[in-house]
Structure 1
């Protein structure tokens, strides 16, 4: 059967039309942000520069693409239509079945749909893993920088030990099938996922210890919600079935947290050693505040600027690492629509068919570019402050 094709202009119009919910959501968010930017603090200040606007717009594009993937995507990312194998962009599915806007891959799947659904994997793993890495790095970096001495020596040695390994080799060791089939990833997940619970319990205790009723409520909510998420992620035993993560994604998640935490630790440690010499810290010590109160409520808020910038950059690094792991066929399932796996599958026939490799490559590049622009804008604003 001979395939029919649409022209390049029709492909462009078709792609733009498929993203209509994304354009609408971006317009609403940017419109509200410009209107109320003076009330939005650091986020509002991003709209004072073109770099900040571009970074926010690109990141919002992929965020809303992940949210509305089911509406944007014309096909199931795993669906195969045999006649569309290696179909060129703009190929029309026979009998009015739709259009492969970016063509088909070697398994006759829609490249455009796989690119769209691949954003969901990136937007779930990269920010969440970075958030957990921040929790681990902050919880260990604050006492190391504040107390110094043996605590600093031990924690710094452990961090340097992890940093001594090449990142790619470290990830390769953590997500190879031999390790993934053992209890090691789940044991590491059980350890790392405790840090957010510990962090928020200490945070609320130091703040509300003189207000018992409010303290009990805060701790109860933290333990209840944190325990619910913990049980769902580590043991896959959420009774409501809401909190769940695929075993392959869990292994990558743990690997990212393990590899990223030492870098966050070193940043927090250095900032703490600098900030603890400030006058307002001395004033808090004179008032008789506890060390953890000083660390969490005096030092940490004043270190938020560099940490926010680092978080944006770290999400970008994690996205590249996810793409690299997918390219090497590690971690995620072979049929996964993540961008790295899509690039790997397309690279095998790159000399014959280049179109399946371009969309995931451009998607990965643009998302990381948006995060870097956002980090640059945040750095400029933090320097002004």
Structure 2
């Protein structure tokens, strides 16, 4: 995997993006121990300004925004990360199956995938969440299924391109089974673009989850994520209270960092494939 250059040899923008991602993950994992207050503790007046006691102020119910931002990051990263991982497992599995099987199975899987993709993702998610009980498990499964359609098309395209290579044909002539060809020939040569796409899909999942929570159909109390923090404090913007802007900045910063890191990864993997 020579395309994976050490982070310290990358440009400064990539290093900053990587460190930002690590910082978000570290804060989220250690939130129960480093957060000044509990997630739902009312510790002050409504929308208190930034102070030494409350570095990011308080929200619409007098809860410490810094503490809720830390705990909200745990839920945001957990749901977005789990949904993205599950989406790739589903998409890659069925994408490779469709590519190597051809025939009727390929047509069935491809048409089902096209059917799901034909409906705008947000609208389809809102319709489904208006019917089913909303919890973290439901959100992860729904987001994974909707996002797996994009992964399916990428995996199928990559597999189709690699399957016509000479080393794959040689493996077939040696009598290797389809499963062996997929796991030993196709997947290793598709891993670089898939990892790059994983980073981009994760950033999309963070934004998508935040949008659902902002609309009231995402993470529900007593849990909170960054999108729900924006929704809870959106009225403060009218009065010049920045409580809704702080989680919005966190969402934007995480999405920007992941995209910046993924872009560099894509460039590196593309350069090495050409060499």
Q: TM-score, normalised by structure 1?
A: 0.68
Residues 47 and 78 (structure 1), Cα distance of their counterparts in 2 relative to 1, 3 Å cut:
farther
Determine the structure 2 residue equivalent to 1:323: 210
Q: Which position in structure 2 is the counterpart of 1:84?
A: 45
RMSD between superposed Cα atoms in Å: 1.7
Distance verdict in 2 for CA 1:257–1:297, change over 3 Å: same
Structure 1 position 358, deviation (Å):
1.9
- Is the Cα contact below 8 Å between 1:173 and 1:179 reproduced in 2? no
Structure-1 separation of matches of 2:46 and 2:12: 42
2:210, 2:228 within 8 Å by CA — same for their partners in 1? yes
Give the Cα–Cα distance (whole angstroms) in 2 for the partners of residues 334 and 271 of structure 1.
41
Instruction: Give secondary structure in 2 for the equivalent of 1:273.
Output: helix
Deviations 1:255-303 (A, max 9, x none): 1111011110000000111000111101111111001110121101100
Equivalent residue, structure 2, for 1:294 = 181
| Counterpart-to-counterpart distance in 2, 1:61 and 1:40 | 26
Give the 3 Å change call, closer, same or farther, for CA 63–76 of structure 1 in structure 2.
same
- The CA deviation at 1:349 is 2.7
1:47 aligned partner: 9
What are the within-5 Å matches in structure 2 for residues 15-30 of structure 1? Answer: none
Alignment of 1:147-186 (within 5 A): 147-176=101-130, 178-180=131-133
Question: Greater RCO between the two (CA within 8 Å, min separation 6)?
Answer: 2
Question: Unaligned stretches of 5+ in structure 1?
Answer: 1-38, 93-98, 181-246
Separation in 2, partners of 1:75, 1:52: 33
Who wins on radius of gyration, i.e. which is larger?
1
In 2, distance between residues paired with 1:100 and 1:84? 11
Please list every run of at least 4 consecutive aligned residues from structure 1 whose deviation after the TM superposition is greater than 2 angstroms. 45-52, 334-337
Indicate if the aligned counterparts of 1:89 and 1:355 stay in contact, CA closer than 8 A. Answer: no
- Note closer, same or farther for the CA distance 1:112–1:255 as it changes in structure 2 (3 Å cut): same
Partner Cα distance (1:271, 1:108) in 2: 51
Q: Decide whether the 8 Å contact of 1:46 with 1:378 is kept in 2.
A: no
User: Distance in 2 between the 1:145 and 1:364 partners?
Assistant: 36
Q: C-alpha separation between the residues in 2 aligned to 1:69 and 1:40? A: 36
In 1, the alpha carbon distance for the partners of 2:244 and 2:256 equals 18
2:150 corresponds in structure 1 to 263
Q: Quote how far apart the aligned CAs of 1:334 are.
A: 3.7
- Residue 129 of structure 1: how far off its partner (Å): 1.1
Q: Is the 8 A contact 1:46 1:377 kept in 2?
A: no
- The 8 Å contact of residues 236 and 244 in structure 2, kept in 1 or not, is answered as no
Secondary structure of the structure 2 residue equivalent to 1:356: helix
d(CA) in 1 for partners of 2:139, 2:242: 28
Q: Which residue of 2 aligns with 1:139?
A: 93
Q: Does 1:73 align with 2:27?
A: no
